[in-house]
Amino acid sequence: MQTHQYDVVIVGAGGAGMRAALESSGQVRTAVISKLYPTRSHTGAAQGGMCAALANVEEDNWEWHTFDTVKGGDYLVDQDAAEIMAKEAIDAVLDLERMGLPFNRTPEGRIDQRRFGGHTRNHGEAAVRRSCYAADRTGHMILQTLYQQCVKQDVEFFNEFYVLDLITDHDLAAGEIPDDETVTATGVVAYDLATGEIHVFQAKAIIFATGGAGKIFKTTSNAHTLTGDGMALAYRRGFPLEDMEFFQFHPTGLAGLGILLSEAARGEGGILRNSDGERFMERYAPTIKDLAPRDIVARSMANEVREGRGCGPDKDYVLLDLTHLEPAHIDAKLPDITEFARTYLGIEPYTEPVPVYPTAHYAMGGVPTNVDAEVLRDSHNVVKGLYAAGEVACVSVHGSNRLGTNSLLDINVFGKRAGRTAAAYAATASYTDLPEDAAARVVTQLEEMRNRPDGDRVADVRKALQETMDANAQVFRTGDSLNQALTDIRDLQERYRNVSVQDKGRMFNTDLLEAIELGFLLDIAEVTVVAALNRKESRGGHYREDYPDRDDANYMLHTMAYRRPTSAERTADGRVDGFVTGYFDHVEEFDGYKVALGSKPVIQTRYEPMERKY
C-alpha cells in the first residue's frame, strides 16, 4: 500500500476534471486520478457543440440562453446557476479558443455557430445559431485541447487508477449525523489497475469529476466505463443524490445499438420521419419542430412507434432523413456521425434515411453542489473539502431536462469553478488526519470479491439490471413499471452478494473491477427508481403515464435521496434525520439500509414557471 498527500485531488480526467486541473495545478499541489487515460474519457464522444451567446452570426445574448436553459429544464433548473452558466459560457468558449481549440469559422474568421435543440431567439421565437462547434467532434476537440494544456502545465496524472472509496470524518450512511458540526472529506482510496496495489490519497480538497452512469440502461450512448462511480461513492458515505429520476434519453441513437447521432444532424437540417414519411415533429412542436428539446423529441418518437407508425420489419424505430442535404454539406459539418451510420448499419446517409431510436444519454441528477461546486450534505450545509463538477454533479443547471450543448458548457464553466474554489480552499486549509485503517473497507471488499466461490456471473446480473431499466424506467414510466424495476433491483442486489470473478490475479484485473462497478450501477439504479416512483408527476425527462401532467404545487422541488442505516428513526413529525415532509417523505427499506427521500427548494430568480410549448 502506498500513501500520497496532495492539496487537491481530482477524480476523473474528462472535460470537467481536466478543466479543474488547469485551474488548481498552477496554484497548489494537484493530482488527477483517472480510471482511463485522460484522452479516453467520454467527453471525447460529445459531438454537436457548446452553446454561448457570442452573437457571431446573429443577434443573441446570455439572458436568452438562460431562459432557454430554464424552460428546457421544465423549470426545475436553479435559475441563479443557469444565469452564471450562460454568462460565463462566453469566456469559456473564448478560453478554449485561446488554448488552441480548432473551432469552425465564419467567413470573417470568427468562431462559427449553428442551431441546436431548444436554443432560441428572444424567448422562443425561433431557433438561434448559438452552438460553437468543431465539425461534429466538438467534445473530442475539447478533450484533446484540455489534455494538451495539461501536458503543457505538467499536470500530475495517475492513469488507470480506480477510486473506490471516499474518506470522510463522519460516515453519514452509518448514522454519524452531526447537527451543526462540519463534515469533512479527507481523502480517497484508489486501486492501481496495472499492479492491483492500493493507494491512499490524503487531500485537503477533493473534486469528483467522474461523469455519468448511463450503463444502468441497456440501450445507451454511454461508454462501458460510465458506471456512476463518483455518485455511488458519495451516496455510500451518506451524502445525498439530487434529482436522480431525471435521465435524458437522446432522440437519435442508431436503432438497436444506441450509438449517438448528434442533434447537430437536425441543427443542420435533418428531419425525423415516421413510416408514412411524415415529418411528425410538426404535430408535437409546431414552432421549432425537429429542434424541440430532447425529452419532447424522444417522447414523440416513442409515441410514433407505439401508435404503429414505426419503421423497419418490427416497426420499432423512426428515420432521420438527411437525403435532402448536399453531400458536401454533410461531409463538412457531420462527417463522423454519417460514418457511424455507414460503419455500424451499412446505411449511406446521402441517399438513405438512418434508423434511429432514443438512447439513454445523460444524468441530469447527481451529487448536489452549490454554484461554487461545493458538495452539499443536505439542502443547505456543505461538506468541507469536497467538490463536484460535470455530469456527476447536480448544480442544477439542467433541471429535469438538459439542453443539447449545455453539458460541454457545464464541464467548462463548473470545472473551472471547482478548480478555483478547491485550490483557494486548499491554500488555507490544513490536512485532516486519516484513520489508521483508511483502506480497510476497500481491501476487504476486493479480497472478499476475489476469493468468493463460484457464483453468479457479473455479466448476467448486469444484463438483467440493464434490461429491467430499459423495459421499466425508460422514456415512458408508470407506477407499475417502476415497482417492477424496484422488485428486480432488490433481487439483483441479492444476487450481487454472490457474484464471483474468474480472474484471481493482481495485474490488470478488469474482471474484478467490472464486478465492483456493477455494485455502483445497482446502487445508482436503485436510487433512480425510488426517486422516480416518488415523483408522481411528469416533468422533463421523467414521464409518468399515470401522472401525465406537471404538478408545480406539489413537486416544484429537487429530490434529495439519502442512504441511512436501518436503525435511523423517524422523528415525531414523521421526518428521518431532519428531512422535510410533504410529498418527499418517502422512506424505502432495503436489506441493511434505507433510502430516505427529502427535498431542496428550486431557486427561482426572474422566470415564473409557464407551460412548456415549442
Partner 1 sequence: MTATLENDTATEPKAGEIPSFEVTLRVRRHLPESAHGEDSFWDEFTVLAHGTDRVLDALHKIKWEHDGSLTFRRSCAHGVCGSDAMRINGRNRLACKTLLKDVNPDKPITVEPIKGLPVIKDLVVDMEPFFASYREIMPFLITSGNEPSKERLQSAEQRERFDDTTKCILCAACTSSCPVFWTDGQYFGPAAIVNAHRFIFDSRDEGGSQRLEILNDKEGVWRCRTTFNCTEACPRGIEVTKAIAEVKRAMITRAF
* Annotation: binding site for substrate: 250, 262, 361, 402
Among 2, 58, 100, 566, binds partner 1 (CB under 8 A): 100
Cα(34)–Cα(225) distance, rounded to whole angstroms? 11
107 binds partner 1 (CB under 8 A): yes
344 binds partner 1 (CB under 8 A): yes
Where does 217-295 show beta strands of DSSP type E?
241-242, 247-254, 271-273
Nearest to 529 by CA among 472, 589, 575: 472
Residue 314: strand, helix, or coil: coil
Per CB under 8 A, contacts with partner 1 among 486-505 are 501-503, 505
Which secondary-structure segment (H or E) carries 445? helix 440-451
Cα(100)–Cα(13) distance, rounded to whole angstroms? 19
The nearest distance, CB 236 to partner 1, in angstroms, is 24
259 binds partner 1 (CB under 8 A): yes
314 binds partner 1 (CB under 8 A): yes
Stretch that binds partner 1, among 229-237, 341-349, 424-432, 599-607 (CB under 8 A): 341-349
Is residue 575 annotated as a catalytic residue, yes or no?
no
Per the CB < 8 A criterion, the answer to whether 597 and 560 are in contact is yes
536 binds partner 1 (CB under 8 A): no
39 binds partner 1 (CB under 8 A): yes
103 binds partner 1 (CB under 8 A): yes
Q: Would you say how long the chain is, in residues?
A: 614
Stretch that binds partner 1, among 21-29, 312-320, 385-393, 602-610 (CB under 8 A): 312-320
311 binds partner 1 (CB under 8 A): yes
37 binds partner 1 (CB under 8 A): yes
Q: Closest CB to partner 1 among 258 and 540? A: 258
The nearest distance, CB 30 to partner 1, in angstroms, is 18
Which secondary-structure segment (H or E) carries 130? strand 126-132
- Residues 6 or more apart whose Cβ sits within 8 Å of residue 243: 76, 364, 365, 366, 394, 396, 399, 400, 531, 558, 559
Nearest to 524 by CA among 258, 253, 207, 247: 247
- Residues 6 or more apart whose Cβ sits within 8 Å of residue 581: 573, 574, 575
Q: Sign (positive/negative) of CA torsion 377, 379, 384, 386? A: positive
Residue 88: strand, helix, or coil: helix
Among 149, 202, 338, 412, binds partner 1 (CB under 8 A): 149
Where does 133-196 show beta strands of DSSP type E?
156-159, 161-168, 185-192
Among 24, 41, 405, 493, binds partner 1 (CB under 8 A): 41
306 binds partner 1 (CB under 8 A): no
Say which amino acid occupies 257: L
Report residue 369: phi and psi, to 5°: -135, 165
Q: Which cell is 324 given?
A: 435532402
Q: How many CA atoms lie within 13 A of 53 on its CB side?
A: 22
Q: How far is CA 337 from the centre of its chain?
A: 22
The nearest distance, CB 159 to partner 1, in angstroms, is 9
Cα(404)–Cα(51) distance, rounded to whole angstroms? 8
Which residue out of 130, 273, 294, 462 is catalytically annotated? Answer: 294
Residue 36: strand, helix, or coil: coil
Find cell 471547482 and name the residue: 418
Nearest to 35 by CA among 192, 205, 223, 197: 192
Stretch that binds partner 1, among 2-10, 339-347, 383-391, 606-614 (CB under 8 A): 339-347
Contact mark string toward partner 1, 111..140, x via CB under 8 A: x----------------------xx-x--x
The nearest distance, CB 11 to partner 1, in angstroms, is 17
Enumerate helices (H) and strands (E) in the chain, giving the number of each. Answer: 16, 23
Cα(579)–Cα(558) distance, rounded to whole angstroms? 13
Contact mark string toward partner 1, 442..471, x via CB under 8 A: ---------------xxx------------
What does R_g of the chain's alpha carbons equal in angstroms? 23
> H helices of 131-280, where?
138-153, 229-236, 264-267
Stretch that binds partner 1, among 342-350, 374-382, 480-488, 516-524 (CB under 8 A): 342-350
343 binds partner 1 (CB under 8 A): yes
Q: Closest CB to partner 1 among 275 and 323? A: 275
Per CB under 8 A, contacts with partner 1 among 417-446 are none
Among 1, 125, 152, 605, binds partner 1 (CB under 8 A): 152
Judged by CB under 8 A, how many residues of this single chain contact partner 1? 65
556 binds partner 1 (CB under 8 A): no
Among 42, 266, 416, 535, binds partner 1 (CB under 8 A): 42
Among 63, 171, 511, 551, binds partner 1 (CB under 8 A): 511
Q: Closest CB to partner 1 among 264 and 285? A: 264
Q: Closest CB to partner 1 among 345 and 408? A: 345
32 binds partner 1 (CB under 8 A): no
The nearest distance, CB 134 to partner 1, in angstroms, is 7
98 binds partner 1 (CB under 8 A): yes
Among 55, 257, 427, 580, binds partner 1 (CB under 8 A): 257
Residue 264: strand, helix, or coil: helix
Query: Which residues make beta-bridge pairs with 599?
Result: 559
Cα(223)–Cα(498) distance, rounded to whole angstroms? 26
Q: Which cell is 251 given?
A: 432522440
Cα(413)–Cα(405) distance, rounded to whole angstroms? 13
The nearest distance, CB 280 to partner 1, in angstroms, is 17
Cα(291)–Cα(113) distance, rounded to whole angstroms? 15
Per the CB < 8 A criterion, the answer to whether 333 and 248 are in contact is no
The nearest distance, CB 481 to partner 1, in angstroms, is 27
Cα(136)–Cα(123) distance, rounded to whole angstroms? 27
Q: Closest CB to partner 1 among 311 and 360? A: 311
The nearest distance, CB 142 to partner 1, in angstroms, is 12
The nearest distance, CB 487 to partner 1, in angstroms, is 25
The nearest distance, CB 334 to partner 1, in angstroms, is 14
94 binds partner 1 (CB under 8 A): yes
Per CB under 8 A, contacts with partner 1 among 165-224 are 194, 223-224
List contacts with partner 1 (CB under 8 A): 36-37, 39-42, 44-45, 93-94, 97-100, 102-105, 107-111, 134-135, 137, 140-141, 144, 148-149, 151-152, 194, 223-225, 256-257, 259-260, 275, 311-314, 336, 340, 343-346, 457-459, 501-503, 505-511
Active site amino acids? 294
